[in-house]
Amino acid sequence: MIALINKLLDWFKALFWKEEMELTLVGLQYSGKTTFVNVIASGQFSEDMIPTVGFNMRKITKGNVTIKLWDIGGQPRFRSMWERYCRGVSAIVYMVDAADPEKIEASKNELHNLLDKPQLQGIPVLVLGNKRDLPGALDEKELIERMNLSAIQDREICCYSISCKEKDNIGMTHLSERFYSTTKLFSYDLISKE
């Protein structure tokens, strides 16, 4: 009986309630941020992505969920903008090229510098290690260690290994399943699984 009531409440909520969230996507250049946005929005992967100059904003609506997603350029000249676009968002998504060991240290430093900003205190962070389809890519455990994520104690932080090219682990169900309770993200799949 309780299960039936819960299903009925979920159905009413879906009819009359719409969830909106704002996310900012940051990370070093060539980590796959814009590709991630395009795969989430359209389900399509393209090898021919042009690096983001400055920022792009995209609204993605699937079902009752609308996500306003800021994709901020990762080149050194744009990194000073990251803090401004991260203020007041539902969560920060930090993209790492898990297959490029030479950039891991710089990526770690940029993430920790960003999260040291007082205006961003408490905002949850989702670290995505992209390009797991490539040989030598770091897995989640290695990313947590190399990015020193266990040192981040003032907010919720999750780390996932993904592949935009293979569309692997990038459905919002995968990304928000454990993140839900603290960020109020809802587990809706934003790309179709084939």
Q: What is the CATH number of domain 20-183?
A: 3.40.50.300
Predicted structure pTM score: 0.79
Which sequence spans correspond to the domains of the chain? Answer: 20-183
**Who has greater pLDDT, 53 or 158?**
158
Q: Does 132 count as an annotated binding residue?
A: yes
Q: Which of 62, 78, 92, 109 is nearest to 154 (CA)?
A: 92
Q: Does 129 count as an annotated binding residue?
A: no
pLDDT 10s digits, 157-170: 989 898 887 776 67
Q: Does 27 count as an annotated binding residue?
A: yes
Q: Does 28 count as an annotated binding residue?
A: yes
Residue linked to tokens 């000249």: 77
Q: Does 30 count as an annotated binding residue?
A: yes
Name the band, by pLDDT with cuts 50, 70 and 90, for residue 34.
confident
Mean pLDDT of 131-157: 93
Q: Cite the DSSP H helix spans in 69-189.
A: 82-86, 101-115, 140-146, 172-176, 180-183
Q: Is the pLDDT of residue 148 over 90?
A: yes
Q: Does 74 count as an annotated binding residue?
A: yes
**Who has greater pLDDT, 45 or 96?**
96
